[in-house]
Amino acid sequence: MNNYLLCTRGLTKRFGHHNAVDHVDLHIPKGAIYGFIGRNGAGKTTCLKMISGLSAPTEGEIEIFGYRGRELEQMRSRIGCLIEAPGLYENMTAYENLKTKCLFCGIHKKGYIEDILETVGLADAGKKKTRHFSLGMKQRLGIGLALVGEPDLLVLDEPINGLDPQGIAEIRTTLYRLQQERSLTILISSHILEELSKIATDYGIIHNGTLLQELTREELMCRCSERIEITLDVPEQAVPVLDRLGFTRYQVTDKTHIQVYERLNESAMLNMELSKEGIPVRGITITSEELESYYLNLTGGAFHA
């Protein structure tokens, strides 16, 4: 038993000789909004399909809610998913689509469907057939369908794909509210890091089927935010000086660097104080990295959509 709601060990999916997902080890804490980032074809959807039970892994293990293997099969109803495009009966209304899922789950509670429509902002959809819905409305209904049965884990595959900025904002607000109100754990994939960064608390970056990195929101922000980067031969020597000057938000990141995340306009003073103490400073610069460029650097260059 561990502290994660979901973790995978060596999760692999092979199609012929091609490893679509290659020994992926995910760790998703309870209550997290986990942003699963990767380019098109990186293996995000395949991974999510295996987690949702729509596809069987070639190798590896999935543990959700502390259960795995056959035991996990019994717990599948606690997972709601929206994989690829929302699967809707287009000749039915939003209410009828939800009613179909409710019948499947054995839910007959009065007002239950209306509550879900309210939650996803489709209370006014009325008798409109879903074929006449906008993409945003369809995505929200897809999320509504995933919510039927009060799942503890929501798996959403690119729910903001193809949406306009307003649609993206609506989905983001809906997800944030769900996580806050229902304490849901949400696994959401996207190839737009910038958008995920607005709601995700944890991240996993996948590329060519391999998980490159897992990091928390704080770790990502640290790596991407504006900061003073000091290059030194022995960074530990500078720590007492920083403490004496009242710096609290700094980090020795490797054998030659210290990153300081506050009082960015005091870099000259900092340089002087270090020199006074006889600590040789090889370089001191204000640096930052955009989220997108951080991601691109990690995955090896520009997009190949």
Partner 1 sequence: MLNYIKMDLYRMFRMKSFLVIGFALIMGTFFTTSMSVMDYNAMKEETEKNLQSDEEPVNLGMDVTLPTRPGQMVTVYDQIYANLHGKFIALFMVIFAVLFSASDLSSGYIKNIGGQMKNRGSLILSKAAALFVYTVLTMLFYLIVQTAAQAVCFRNLEMGPLKGLMIYLSVQTLLHYALLLICMAVTVITRNKVFSMAFAVLVCMNVMIILYSTIDKVIEKLGIENFNLIRYTVTGRMSLLSMSPSAEGCERAVLTAVLFGIAVTAFSSRIFRKRDI
Give the binding site for partner 1 (CB under 8 A).
49, 52-56, 73-74, 76-77, 79, 81-92, 96-97, 99-101, 103-106, 142, 145-146, 149
Q: Angle at the Cα of 218 (from 44 to 155), degrees rounded to 5?
A: 30
Q: Quick one: 41 or 239, whose CB is closer to partner 1?
A: 41
**Residue number with CB closer to partner 1 (31 or 53):** 53
Query: Taking the complex as a whole, how short is the minimal distance between the CB of residue 26 and partner 1, in angstroms?
Result: 17
Residue 84 CB, shortest distance to partner 1, in Å, is: 7
Q: Which is nearer to partner 1, 49 or 227 (CB)?
A: 49
Q: Which one, 154 or 205, has the nearer CB to partner 1?
A: 154
Smallest separation (angstroms) from partner 1 to the CB of 53: 3
Closest to partner 1 by CB, 90 or 236? 90
Q: Minimal distance in Å, beta carbon 170 to partner 1?
A: 20
CB of 296 vs partner 1, minimal distance in Å: 31
Question: For partner 1, which is the closer residue by CB, 144 or 235?
Answer: 144
Shortest spacing between CB 80 and partner 1, in angstroms: 8
